[in-house]
Amino acid sequence: MSAKKLFIQTLGCAMNVRDSEHMIAELTQKENYSLTQDIKEADLILINTCSVREKPVHKLFSEVGGFEKVKKKDAKIGVCGCTASHLGNEIFRRAPYVDFVLGARNISKITQAINTPKFISVDIDYDESEFAFADFRNSIYKSYINISIGCDKHCTYCIVPHTRGDEISIPFDIIYNEATKAVQKGAKEIFLLGQNVNNYGKRFRNDHKKMDFSDLLEELSTIESLERIRFTSPHPLHMDDKFLEVFAKNPKVCKSMHMPLQSGSTEILKAMKRGYTKEWYLNRALKLRELCPNVSISTDIIVAFPGESEKDFEDTMDVLEKIRFEQMFSFKYSKRPLTKAATMPNQIDPEVASQRLSILQNRHNEILDEIVEKQNNKEFEVLFEELRPNHSVAGRTDNNFLVQIEHSEELLGQIKKVKITNAKRMVLYGELV
């Protein structure tokens, strides 16, 4: 019997990428599907959704409408992920041609979903922490590995706890075995995923070996032939000295830290229910710079959160000046359903929000240009993992700069020393040393 064709579109974060890999693995190995990039030949079309911001939700209905117009007569359409979790049956109402809806915490049911008419499963309390997924990865050289699911933080702007449920850690043995298997198949780097990775070990489904995230990093670094460990996203609240020291001293842990700030104002952080102050954040980030001078720090910032004054915004700008982030993801606050911030008073005028975002981004671009200029003539170890046009290959430095050189695909999967000859904002160009 010839394989059926699967087309999958993934929106949102790295956790969604890994969820898509899990669904691909289940479908290719248990249901005789093979991947296609041509939606017109697909027998099954999946869209794995994000609901962190407003635009991806609008994108969902516009995308599935487009799918319906071009798909084969008997092809099925499935909506999966975070938007599926919070919209549920409304998806069937707004897009009746959708065949099934599968929430972010229910992806292990994908084979059941495709074989059950109008299947829906969006239970955010469903526990997949010990489910043995089949194996599939988009990259030979890098392996995404979930270490926890869900989130307990309930930040007042964030919908994730309502779409992925309470936080639960995946047992160490499952993580270690998955990492070992990936390395045996050629992975040089593992990328640990969780909503708050450095809160790892606080809750397991059953009795398991107790360890915190720092211990997990140390244990995984003992895997032979594993070259690099990355992770996202840690929470500033859980950045204790032990964690920062393991990060700085363990040679396999990549020197790139994502530290979501969200706001530089202690008052706004309190309203966001982030659990830390401006002073705590600065203390942790500056200590990290001290322990690990070559670290790159990235962040997330929301401007114009309800009630944000000019002084609050100045506090955010002050943190930007003091930390000088190598990368910044910044957004205007947008109301999300099921969140407390959506009904808060003192919502900020959209024009003010746009102006503040522009000020923040313009200043960060100036800082970034100064940072980038300093990379010229530096030498970096680069793991090459991407073939690019014009006979080029690209990869990442230990501290997460993207580097591109002219070379052939034989470099893929190798770590080589590169000297930077032309540093640009998005890409550092160089040559092999």
Pairing of strands 168-169, 148-149: antiparallel
- Asked whether the beta carbons of 48 and 55 are under 8 A apart, the reply is no
Query: Is residue 151 marked as binding?
Result: yes
Q: Give me the mean pLDDT over the 267-277 stretch.
A: 98
- CA–CA gap between residue 71 and residue 13 (Å, rounded): 26
pLDDT of residue 15: 87
Tens digit of each residue's pLDDT (9 = 90 or more) over 391-420: 999 999 999 999 999 999 999 999 999 999
pLDDT of residue 166: 92
**Which H/E stretch holds residue 311?**
helix 310-323
- CA–CA gap between residue 64 and residue 69 (Å, rounded): 9
Query: Is residue 254 marked as binding?
Result: no
pLDDT for residue 57 is more than 80: no
E-strand ranges in 71-158 read 76-81, 100-103, 119-121, 142-146, 148-149
Q: Give me the mean pLDDT over the 290-318 stretch.
A: 98
pLDDT of residue 315: 98
pLDDT of residue 207: 80
User: What is the C-alpha R_g of the chain?
Assistant: 22
Tens digit of each residue's pLDDT (9 = 90 or more) over 141-174: 999 999 999 999 999 999 988 889 999 999 999 9
- Asked whether the beta carbons of 44 and 75 are under 8 A apart, the reply is yes
- Eight-state DSSP code of residue 348: P
Length reported for the chain: 433
DSSP codes, 246-278 = HHHH-TTB-SEEE---B-S-HHHHHHHT-S--H
Which of 171, 5, 159 is closest to 84 using CA atoms?
159
What's the mean per-residue pLDDT of the chain?
94
**Residue 233 preceded by cis peptide, ω within 30:** yes
- CA–CA gap between residue 116 and residue 109 (Å, rounded): 11
- Asked whether the beta carbons of 6 and 110 are under 8 A apart, the reply is no
Three-state SS letters, 355-399? HHHHHHHHHHHHHHHHHHHCCCCCEEEEEEEEEECCCEEEEEECC
Q: Residue 262 pairs with which residues in a beta bridge?
A: 301
Which of 80, 91, 95 is closest to 19 using CA atoms?
80
- CA–CA gap between residue 198 and residue 200 (Å, rounded): 5
CA dihedral 417, 419, 424, 426 (to 10 degrees): 0
- CA–CA gap between residue 26 and residue 9 (Å, rounded): 16
- CA–CA gap between residue 433 and residue 418 (Å, rounded): 5
Tens digit of each residue's pLDDT (9 = 90 or more) over 203-218: 888 887 789 999 999 9
Which of 54, 45, 30, 50 is closest to 100 using CA atoms?
45
pLDDT for residue 1 is more than 70: no
Dig out the tokens for 82 from the structure: 């975070």
pLDDT band at residue 58 using 50, 70 and 90 as cut-offs: confident
Tens digit of each residue's pLDDT (9 = 90 or more) over 234-268: 999 999 999 999 999 999 999 999 999 999 999 99
- Backbone φ and ψ for 177, nearest 5 degrees, come out as -65, -40
pLDDT band at residue 137 using 50, 70 and 90 as cut-offs: confident
pLDDT for residue 52 is more than 90: no
pLDDT band at residue 86 using 50, 70 and 90 as cut-offs: confident
pLDDT for residue 54 is more than 70: no
- Asked whether the beta carbons of 361 and 325 are under 8 A apart, the reply is no
pLDDT for residue 430 is more than 80: yes
pLDDT band at residue 423 using 50, 70 and 90 as cut-offs: very high
- CA–CA gap between residue 103 and residue 257 (Å, rounded): 29
pLDDT of residue 267: 98
pLDDT for residue 47 is more than 90: yes
pLDDT of residue 56: 64
Q: Give me the mean pLDDT over the 130-149 stretch.
A: 89
Which of 229, 176, 259, 165 is closest to 203 using CA atoms?
165
